[in-house]
Structure 1
Amino acid sequence: MITAQNLTKRFGAHTAVDDVSFTIKPGQVTGFLGPNGAGKSTTMRMIMGLDRPTHGSTTVNGRPFGEHTDPMRQAGALLDAKAAHPGRRAADHLRLLAATNGIARSRVDDVLELTGIASVARRRIGGFSLGMHQRLGIAATMLGDPEVLIFDEPVNGLDPEGVHWVRGFAKARAAEGRTVFISSHLMSEMAQTADHIIVLGKGRVLADAPIAQFLGGAGQERTRVRVSDATVLGSILSADGVSITQTDAESLEIAGLPPAHIARRAALENLDLHELTPLNASLEEAYLALTDDATEYRSDRTAVAA
């Protein structure tokens, strides 16, 4: 488990993390989202004891991470995929980490196989692609078979197969009862991977909720409807605050009315109802709506549209 309590970090006059509190629970994948500059990486560094909080505290498995005598057995963190000497061979890099943390040498072979890089174990790290760097970093996090895993943008540089592998890896580790904390800018990937979402904006927590709850609370309730005569149903349901989009002769997308109300009106008009599907906002839509006022660096949207 990971906890943060009133966590604050200032760099001179700039507040990077501002009174942040949360608990990352075991047995689930928690996604950590936020615009560039929101404070995600700084928060992760403070959890791992690499940055000292200006105020507040963090714990890993009940203690500040720096107080653990067996740190790699408590938590594994991938915060910088290229934090390995380029002239060293992959297996030697892992053996050094194992030796300095009292971990059996045999564990190196295990994690090389686990991450799919056993075939390049004797290659020098400087010749690795970014995706191979990511896999080596993930291998290092697993050396101590820790209860807590922290990944900062772990799918950067990975091809689709690699992204799919990281997703399965994270979910499998959570299913084993571990605490898995992942930051990412890939909304589609987080939607498929995370069970819980924490969103930062300008150093503050904007959301901390199960992903289903987060998506369900974003925007108006929307429903996809297929009915024998969409034009008739659309005219009946038209009212202030109701948005109706007809996609074909039998299909509507309706915002602002509950599905039960739509079904009742269709029945009263003797219309055959073929589909009534509630639609949540996508994670990307919900995230953009939430962080619109918390984005420090933004492009000119009118220029993009043009």
Structure 2
Amino acid sequence: MIHVENLSKSFGSKRVLQDVSFTAEPGRVTGFVGPNGAGKSTVLKIIAGLVRPDAGTVSVNGKDFSQALLPGKTMGLFLSAEWLPEQATAAGIIDYVCRTQGLPVSWGRDTLETVGLAGVAQHRVRTFSLGMRQRLGIATATVSRPDVLVMDEPINGLDPDGIAWIRSFLSSAASQGATVLLSSHHMAELAETADDIVMIGGGRILGQGSIGDFVSHPDETGYYLESPDPENLLVAMAQRGFRATRERGGILVHHTNPTELASVALESGAGISHLSRVTRSLEDTYFAVLARSASGGRE
């Protein structure tokens, strides 16, 4: 588990975080989203102990990460593949990580196999594509089989097969009880992978919750319905104060629930032949939250 409480941080006169709080739960993938400059990277670095907050606390599995007796087993961290030395081989890097963390060298070989780099283990990093470097960086973060995974944009540079692999890998890690905190701009992939969403903007938390709750904001809940007598039903809805509009061959209704819709349809005699809930995509929700924040609204 990662518990972040009331983090604040400034660099000089620039405030980058203010009262940031959220929890990433074990057995779940938590998507961490926000625009460039929102404070995501600073939060991840504070979690990893690379940056000190001005205020607030972070605990990893109930403790300050700096107090972990086995830091590699406690948390695997992937912030960037840029640190990988160009002249080293994939096998050399993963063997070094295993030796410094007291892990069996066989774990390194198994991990290279897992990330799809076993066939190029003796190749130097300078010959690797961005996607291959991403895979190697992920290997170094996961070779110790940590309880917590923190990853920043791990699918950058990956081909479709690589994206499918990382999605499966992270979901599998969570299903085995790991805490996964995943920062990404790829909303479609997060929608396929994440169980929970935390959204940050301007150094503040703008919204959080399960992905189902996050995309079903009460101000945006709507239903699409079809009726044998749509005109009569539209009149009845207007009289009840519902916001309803014609949509294709049916009616789109906002700010209501199925019980209220059924009541109006029964009272008016119009009836309902089809009813379905209208849901937003994660990307739609992301931009809607940003727009509300820019206009001074709250999620």
TM (norm. structure 1) is 0.88
Matches within 5 A, 1:195-206: 195-206=195-206
Matches within 5 A, 1:14-29: 14-29=14-29
**Equivalent pair of 1:3/1:23 in contact (CA under 8 Å):** yes
**Higher mean Cα deviation, 229-238 or 20-29?**
229-238
Matches within 5 A, 1:226-305: 226-238=226-238, 242-249=242-249, 251-268=250-267, 271=270, 273-292=272-291
1:242 & 1:126 partners in 2: Cα distance?
62
2:120 & 2:241 partners in 1: Cα distance?
60
Alpha-carbon shift at residue 238 of structure 1 (Å): 3.3
**Equivalent pair of 1:218/1:280 in contact (CA under 8 Å):** no
- The equivalent residue for 1:110 is 110
2:213 & 2:114 partners in 1: Cα distance?
33
2:206 & 2:37 partners in 1: Cα distance?
14
Q: What residue identity is the alignment partner of 1:150?
A: V
RMSD in angstroms over aligned alpha carbons? 2.0
2:274 & 2:81 partners in 1: Cα distance?
47
**Equivalent pair of 1:219/1:281 in contact (CA under 8 Å):** no
1:262 & 1:168 partners in 2: Cα distance?
40
Alpha-carbon shift at residue 243 of structure 1 (Å): 3.7
- The equivalent residue for 1:71 is 71
Change (3 A) 1:166 1:231: farther
2:245 & 2:135 partners in 1: Cα distance?
45
**Which ranges in structure 2 are unaligned for 5 or more consecutive residues?**
295-299
Change (3 A) 1:67 1:223: same
Q: What residue identity is the alignment partner of 1:18?
A: Q
TM (norm. structure 2) is 0.90
Cα displacement string for residues 134-174 of structure 1 (whole angstroms, at most 9, x for unaligned residues): 11111111111110000101111122222222111111111
Cα displacement string for residues 99-147 of structure 1 (whole angstroms, at most 9, x for unaligned residues): 1111110001111111122122121111212111111111111111110
Q: What residue identity is the alignment partner of 1:221?
A: T
Q: What residue identity is the alignment partner of 1:153?
A: E
**Higher mean Cα deviation, 285-294 or 133-142?**
285-294
2:216 & 2:138 partners in 1: Cα distance?
33
2:144 & 2:287 partners in 1: Cα distance?
37
State the percentage of identical aligned residues: 38
- The equivalent residue for 1:169 is 169
Alpha-carbon shift at residue 183 of structure 1 (Å): 0.6
- The equivalent residue for 2:31 is 31
Describe the SS at the equivalent of 1:19: strand
